């Protein structure tokens, strides 16, 4: 009766890693319970999630090395894994909300999130690429475009590209405050996007900076973002709360791969009560102020409700 915060299956967005092929369900070693899927198995997964009351997925593409190049051409391939999976899911479960992650790192041979000029990621040269990828996923039927690259000005650029091509109703969920660090290690195994040189600190944020996070959020709001994403969730509960107090847009928090794998590893050793801790994790993220949570725990958690 007095409980202030409830988590519902419909608050959750499930990350799916997809590659081209058929009948693929390859376990991801550093993320027990997670798999690389093909469009057909992703479609089955979406159906199961829908039946559990989980209404949304976010797609990350994985392509073989010989399809990667310096300018991430595969990120706007109409027959790439993300576009194919969007079409498959929207055919089988038309009402499922399919979010398309937009970024260069899974498709470029250097695995940085943008285009490289003179050994550094070039912000403005990357914007056109992000616009092209967004349009490719919009055409395939995506319901939300989610740029995760952290280039400045990309929300405005993507908004304009969508509006000029009759996708003015398509919302943008922007990774507004995304911090650089070791948080994404297991994801990089799953999506094969570890940078071949340097790190992401020239475009992702310093984990020490709380005021800067609000400047990043404000910039994305001014550029037309519809949903604000903050990441990594558990390391940023204060940032989520501060954003909730300052802005009225829906907030999505990304319960990232390391947060997932730490619970899984401790759970395997029976050092923690895994089931209880997953519930407490999701509740804490909502209590901090998130409306939506991207989480690898979603299916397991929903099955127990």
Please identify which residue in 50, 187, 203, 301 interacts with ligand PBG, judged by CB under 6 A: 187
Compare residues 123 and 148 and give the one whose CB is closer to ligand PBG: 148
Residue numbers 275-304 binding ligand PBG by CB under 6 A: none
Residue bearing tokens 């989610």: 146
Residue numbers 105-164 binding ligand PBG by CB under 6 A: 105, 113, 148
Compare residues 113 and 247 and give the one whose CB is closer to ligand PBG: 113
Contacts of 2 (CB under 8 A, 6+ apart): none
Closest distance to ligand PBG from the beta carbon of 256 (Å): 4
Task: State the number of binding residues for ligand PBG (CB under 6 A).
Answer: 13
Segment interacting with ligand PBG (CB under 6 A) among 97-105, 163-171, 239-247, 273-281? 97-105
- The one catalytic residue in 68, 90, 231, 299 is 231
Task: Name the helix (H) or strand (E) containing 13.
Answer: strand 12-18
Compare residues 192 and 223 and give the one whose CB is closer to ligand PBG: 192
Segment interacting with ligand PBG (CB under 6 A) among 18-26, 72-80, 184-192, 218-226? 184-192
Please identify which residue in 184, 192, 292, 293 interacts with ligand PBG, judged by CB under 6 A: 184
Residue 231 among the catalytic residues: yes
Compare residues 7 and 58 and give the one whose CB is closer to ligand PBG: 58
Closest distance to ligand PBG from the beta carbon of 63 (Å): 14
Q: Which long-range contacts (CB under 8 A, 24 or more apart) does 225-228 make?
A: 225/155, 225/172, 225/173, 225/174, 225/176, 225/249, 226/144, 226/171, 226/172, 226/173, 226/250, 227/144, 227/171, 227/172, 227/173, 227/174, 227/251, 227/252, 227/292, 228/173, 228/174, 228/176, 228/177, 228/252
Compare residues 93 and 216 and give the one whose CB is closer to ligand PBG: 216
Q: Phi then psi for 194, rounded to 5 degrees?
A: -75, 125
Compare residues 43 and 146 and give the one whose CB is closer to ligand PBG: 146
Closest distance to ligand PBG from the beta carbon of 272 (Å): 20
Closest distance to ligand PBG from the beta carbon of 259 (Å): 8
Query: If binding is defined by CB under 6 A, does position 205 make contact with ligand PBG?
Result: no
Q: How far apart are CA 103 and CA 299, in angstroms?
A: 25
- The one catalytic residue in 68, 90, 178, 299 is 178
Closest CA to 130 of 111, 118, 107, 114: 114
Closest CA to 113 of 149, 77, 81: 149
**Side-chain-facing half-sphere of 176: CA atoms under 13 Å:** 34
Cβ atoms 49, 17 nearer than 8 A: no
Please identify which residue in 134, 257, 261, 295 interacts with ligand PBG, judged by CB under 6 A: 257
Query: Helix (H, G, I), strand (E, B), or coil: what is residue 87?
Result: helix
Catalytic residue numbers read 178, 231
Query: Interface with ligand PBG by CB under 6 A: which residues?
Result: 101, 103, 105, 113, 148, 183-184, 187-188, 193, 200, 256-257
């Amino acid at each position: 009766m007095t409980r202030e915060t409830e988590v519902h299956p419909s608050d959750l967005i499930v990350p799916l890693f997809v590659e081209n092929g058929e009948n693929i369900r390859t376990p991801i070693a550093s993320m027990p319970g997670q798999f690389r899927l093909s469009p057909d198995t992703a479609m089955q997964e979406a159906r199961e999630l829908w039946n559990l009351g989980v209404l949304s997925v976010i797609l990350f593409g994985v392509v073989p090395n010989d399809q990667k190049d310096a300018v991430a051409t595969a990120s706007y391939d109409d027959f790439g894994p993300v576009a194919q999976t969007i079409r498959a899911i929207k055919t089988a479960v038309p009402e499922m909300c399919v979010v398309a992650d937009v970024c260069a790192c899974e498709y470029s041979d250097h695995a940085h999130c943008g285009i490289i000029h003179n050994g550094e990621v070039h912000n403005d040269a990357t914007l056109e690429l992000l616009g092209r990828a967004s349009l490719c996923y919009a055409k395939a039927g995506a319901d939300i475009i989610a740029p995760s690259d952290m280039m400045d000005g990309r929300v405005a650029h993507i908004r304009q590209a969508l509006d000029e091509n009759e996708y003015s109703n398509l919302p943008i969920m922007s990774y507004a405050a995304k911090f650089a660090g070791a948080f994404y290690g297991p994801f990089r195994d799953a999506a094969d996007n570890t940078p071949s040189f340097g790190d992401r600190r020239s475009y992702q944020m310093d984990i020490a900076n709380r005021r800067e996070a609000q400047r990043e959020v404000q910039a994305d709001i001014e550029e037309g973002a519809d949903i604000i994403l903050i990441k990594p969730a558990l390391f940023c509960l204060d940032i989520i709360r501060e954003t909730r107090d300052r802005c009225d847009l829906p907030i999505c928090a990304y319960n990232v791969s390391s947060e997932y794998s730490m619970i899984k590893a401790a759970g395997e050793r029976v050092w923690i009560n895994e089931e209880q801790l997953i519930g407490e994790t999701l509740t804490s993220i909502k209590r901090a102020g998130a409306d939506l949570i991207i989480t690898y725990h979603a299916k397991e958690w929903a099955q127990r409700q």
